[in-house]
C-alpha cells in the first residue's frame, strides 16, 4: 500500500542545504576538467538509486561496484582540482556577496583608468572579464599569471615592448590569470573597419558570458563586447556604466 510522504520543515531544510552545497561545489569546479567526471558520477548514483528502487539486485551490485571505483578514480586523478576547490572554499568569507559589489567597483575603476592610459598612448589592448562560465581552456593557451588587477600592471602588459602584449588578458575576479591568450574569432560579418582584437573580443562573448574590452591601436577608440554584441567608440563614462551594469547590477539579479 502506498503511503503519502508529507515533508516536514526539517526535510525541506535538509534538501535545501544539500542543494546549496551541491550548487557551490559545481560552481567551484566550473571551468575545470573534473566537472565532466562529476556529471558521470551523478549519473551512476542516479542509476544506482533506480536499480535499488526497482530491486534489480544483480544490476545494482554491478553499479554499486562501479560507484566505489569511480569515486576512488576521481579522487586520484583530480587531486589538484579538489585541492584547489577546498582552498577556494576555505578562502570564501561569510557574507562575501556583500563585498562583491565593492570589489567590482574597484575592478571597474582600475580597468577604466588603464584603458584611458592605453588609449592616450595609442596602444592596442584586449581585456576579457570571466564571469560564470569558466575560460580555463583559453587560459591554458596563454601565459599564466596570478596578480591582482591594477592600472599600472595592465598598462605595462600592453606596452609594445612587453612580451605579453599580443593576445588577450583574462581577468577572473580581481586577478589577472593569463596574458597572451588566443581567442576564437567571431564568424559574424563585422565591418572591415574592425581588426583581430575586435573579432576575438566578440568571439569569446558569443560562446561564454564573459565581457571583453578592446582599445584600438589605430584609432585609440574603446569598445565593449558582450553577448556577441559590440558597442564601439565608448567614452570612459560610458565604459564605466556598461561595466557597472554587467558586473554589479546583473550580479544582484
Average confidence score pLDDT of the chain = 81
Coil vs helix vs strand at 205: helix
* Mean pLDDT on 112-120: 95
Which of 2-6, 76-80, 175-179 bottoms out in mean pLDDT, i.e. has the lowest? 2-6
5: pLDDT confidence band, cut at 50, 70 and 90? low
CB half-sphere exposure, 115, CA atoms < 13 A? 27
**Does the pLDDT value for residue 98 go beyond 50?**
no
Higher pLDDT, 12 or 203: 203
Enumerate the H helices of 121-178 as residue ranges: 136-139, 151-157
Q: How far is the CA of 181 from the CAs of 59, 137, 149, in angstroms?
A: 47, 10, 17
Give me the mean pLDDT over the 76-104 stretch.
Answer: 58
Query: Which CATH code is given to the segment(s) 96-252?
Result: 3.40.1700.10
The yes-or-no verdict on residue 30 having pLDDT over 90 is no
Domain range list for the chain: 9-91, 96-252
DSSP letter for 228, please: T
Q: Can you tell me the distance from the alpha carbon of 86 to that of 75, in angstroms, rounded to the nearest whole number?
A: 13
Q: Which of 95, 177, 163, 165 is nearest to 128 (CA)?
A: 177
Confidence of residue 159 (pLDDT cuts 50, 70, 90): very high
Residue 7: which pLDDT band, with cuts at 50, 70 and 90?
low
pTM value is 0.62
Amino acid at each position: 500500500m502506498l503511503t503519502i510522504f508529507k515533508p516536514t520543515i526539517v526535510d525541506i531544510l535538509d534538501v535545501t542545504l544539500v542543494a546549496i552545497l551541491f550548487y557551490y561545489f559545481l560552481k567551484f569546479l566550473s571551468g575545470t576538467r573534473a566537472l565532466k567526471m562529476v556529471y558521470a558520477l551523478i549519473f551512476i548514483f542516479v542509476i544506482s538509486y533506480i536499480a535499488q528502487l526497482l530491486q534489480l539486485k544483480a544490476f545494482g551490485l554491478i553499479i554499486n561496484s562501479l560507484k566505489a571505483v569511480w569515486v576512488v578514480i576521481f579522487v586520484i586523478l583530480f587531486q589538484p582540482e579538489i585541492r584547489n576547490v577546498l582552498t577556494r572554499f576555505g578562502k570564501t568569507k561569510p557574507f562575501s556577496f556583500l563585498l562583491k559589489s565593492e570589489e567590482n567597483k574597484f575592478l571597474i575603476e582600475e580597468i577604466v583608468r588603464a584603458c584611458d592610459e592605453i588609449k592616450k598612448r595609442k596602444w592596442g589592448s584586449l581585456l576579457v572579464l570571466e564571469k560564470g562560465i569558466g575560460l580555463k581552456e583559453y587560459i591554458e593557451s596563454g601565459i599564466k599569471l596570478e596578480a591582482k588587477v591594477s592600472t599600472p600592471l595592465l598598462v605595462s602588459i600592453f606596452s609594445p615592448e612587453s612580451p605579453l602584449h599580443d593576445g588577450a588578458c583574462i581577468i577572473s575576479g580581481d586577478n589577472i590569470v593569463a596574458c597572451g591568450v588566443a581567442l576564437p574569432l567571431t564568424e559574424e560579418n563585422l565591418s572591415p573597419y574592425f581588426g583581430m582584437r575586435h573579432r576575438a573580443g566578440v568571439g569569446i562573448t558569443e560562446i561564454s558570458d564573459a565581457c571583453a574590452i578592446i582599445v584600438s591601436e589605430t584609432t585609440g577608440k574603446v569598445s565593449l563586447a558582450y553577448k556577441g554584441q559590440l558597442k564601439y567608440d565608448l567614452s570612459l563614462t560610458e565604459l564605466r556604466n556598461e561595466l557597472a551594469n554587467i558586473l554589479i547590477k546583473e550580479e544582484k539579479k
